[in-house]
Structure 1
């Protein structure tokens, strides 16, 4: 497999908001969703994860979530209904005509994977990375954490998690108004639904990452899941090659 990611492509989602995506590789499709404040390039391309997966014979499809990256960043509250990211993901799957594919996500992306399954997505395999059980059952805690960050930009104490998140936001040139809207789209996924997910699942998380609760507990709740630990915390594990290598190995198995 040679070459870099495709040029950015666009689709109009369920409500006309423009969603960007890029692809890398050829073969079986896998849709990968990035985390909050991030984008496809930062989450999947920069540190080699997409390349590692593509090298195993996959067509890696990486959207920029609504309000992130090259996707539209509307400021109107009407652009952020409940489960908007979920519906964007389903719109992309439909737009590309994907029927036999895999689906994975990091942090907010993993939360969106759960919601896509709850709303009828039927991938072969699923990947939850940077996500614990509590982060799916109760989205409110993390939503309030990020709401506090976004409405107090420039006021966070150096070195705190809030300060580090704001520093990351600056590197990705995030739009605070649009990102606040994303917090209104979040929806909890009930435990009884998680207990019925039939797909083989990989739960992969940094050894020092407890931002979204216990990843091991999530793996225990899912009927057919394996848990893999990689180095780092929530902000650093996504930079480690082990993350992409483990996802590639799981999808190729």
Structure 2
């Protein structure tokens, strides 16, 4: 199948790159931090697998990433700006009946969308656990330290890895810091109100964002699943694509 790419003007006019593949039920898929739709969904074959299940796969590059706007002025990064972009995209595409999939930052964004009133039928939260949504600031602080200080960060290994990812992907550090500043934690009470089928799926070795099992316990209709891999490697595992498709098909 062929991936097509268009530019969408978000609520504030910022251009957001949107990649699409397949036909059928709309499925919005949101990638992780310091990644892109291509890196998380297209190259690992997840987009192809979901599209082959009879779905129109819609994959934006989140603001600050890939082909989308990457503002460097901190004042432009308002709280919850990433979910606001997706709300504008859903409205612009005229979607009313759709499913939602996110990985890591994309999963955190998906949760914020739900809290703010988004109404997908089924939701997959990949690479996400309880602390990743309820204590988002802690995760943001680690990334900020690594982006600013590299190997001199509190966790030198993480700093080195993150700096390499930024260089290799051509990301703008100031824009990534803006993404982090826009994080809004989600409370336990808010999670308990998200009454729809939600899958929390992580690699067996992934504890980066807490426990998917504990996250699922907080969700009225949440279920948890583990697939092979770590936080970074799980997207390359065929089992993740299969878990996504199986859950979306219900």
TM-score by length of 2: 0.96
CA distance in 2, matches of 1:15, 1:185: 15
> 159-168 vs 205-214, which deviates more?
159-168
Consecutive unaligned residues of structure 1, counting only runs of 5 or more, are none
Q: Which has the higher helix share?
A: 2
TM-score by length of 1: 0.95
Consecutive unaligned residues of structure 2, counting only runs of 5 or more, are none
Q: CA deviation at 1:166?
A: 2.3
CA RMSD, Structure 1 to Structure 2 (Å): 1.5
Asked if 1:206 corresponds to 2:203, the answer is: yes
Give the match for residue 177 of structure 1. 174
> 201-210 vs 146-155, which deviates more?
146-155
| Per-residue CA distance 1:186-233 (angstroms, 9 max, x = gap) | 001111111111110111101111111111100111111221101111
Q: How many residues align?
A: 250
Give the match for residue 48 of structure 1. 45
CA distance in 1, matches of 2:70, 2:208: 26
SS in structure 1 of the partner of residue 140 of structure 2:
helix
CA distance in 2, matches of 1:35, 1:160: 20
Give the match for residue 252 of structure 1. 249
SS in structure 1 of the partner of residue 183 of structure 2:
coil
Asked if 1:26 corresponds to 2:23, the answer is: yes
SS in structure 2 of the partner of residue 152 of structure 1:
helix
Give the match for residue 188 of structure 1. 185
Give the match for residue 37 of structure 1. 34
CA distance in 1, matches of 2:38, 2:99: 19
Q: CA deviation at 1:24?
A: 0.9
CA distance in 1, matches of 2:75, 2:114: 24
1:111 aligned to 108, 126, 132, which one? Answer: 108
2:163 aligned to 166, 170, 176, which one? Answer: 166
Matches within 5 A, 1:76-87: 76-87=73-84
